[in-house]
């Protein structure tokens, strides 16, 4: 698994949620990703990593905050943990997919390696993809790019 320090850093400074950048290889097209993760350290790493990949990232620490964000801005992709607290990532996925504004927005669910029940529930809720923790960064980059490409078609 590639480490965060092994990846290119196109810009130093604060988290990438501050500005907008183009996805790699797609100049002029903007992609905003919403990362929903209750663990602050994981949220920070995912946000920074996806920012280094060239995406504009906004992070939320709960499903409720993610839903608040969806009232303001439409992300191009949502990456959510399964276990978030009061509302799970599965319930968040169900709500997103039930909303006509976001029914075609890809939702990627992060889950524990052996969490088969969460995978099945996520698929039933409309999740577009899954990642097992720990996340392989090269796989994450490839899958996110593929889901965004399909959305743009």
pLDDT at 40 exceeding the cut of 90: yes
Q: What percent of the chain has a predicted confidence (pLDDT) above 90?
A: 57
Q: What is the pLDDT of residues 110-129, one digit of tens each?
A: 987 677 888 888 888 999 99
**Fold type of domain 27-152:** Rossmann fold (3.40.50)
The predicted structure's pLDDT at residue 135:
86
Q: What's the Cα-to-Cα distance from 96 to each of 6, 34, 77, rounded to whole Å? A: 34, 12, 11
13: confidence class by pLDDT, cuts 50, 70, 90 = very low
Q: Nearest to residue 96, comparing CAs of 86, 83, 109?
A: 109
- Go through 21-48 and write b for each residue having 16 or more CB atoms within 10 A of its CB, e for each that does not: bebeeeeeeebbbbbbbbeeebbebbbb
Q: Where are the domains of the chain?
A: 27-152
Q: Report helix angle 89-98 to 116-125, nearest 10.
A: 10
Secondary structure letter of residue 135 according to DSSP: P
């Amino acid at each position: 698994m590639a480490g965060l320090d092994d990846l290119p850093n196109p810009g130093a400074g604060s988290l990438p949620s501050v500005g907008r950048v183009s996805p790699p290889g797609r100049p002029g097209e903007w992609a905003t990703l919403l990362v929903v993760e209750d663990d602050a350290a994981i949220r920070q790493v995912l946000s920074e990593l996806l920012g280094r990949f060239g995406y504009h990232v906004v992070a939320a620490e709960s499903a409720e905050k993610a839903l608040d964000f969806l009232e303001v801005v439409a992300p191009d992709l949502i990456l959510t943990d399964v276990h978030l607290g009061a509302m799970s990532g599965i319930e968040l996925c169900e709500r997103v997919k039930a909303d006509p504004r976001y029914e075609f927005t890809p939702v990627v669910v992060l889950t524990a390696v052996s969490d088969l029940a969460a995978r099945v529930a996520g698929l039933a809720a409309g999740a577009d993809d899954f990642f097992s923790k720990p996340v392989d960064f090269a796989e994450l980059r490839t899958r996110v790019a593929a889901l965004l490409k399909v959305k743009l078609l």
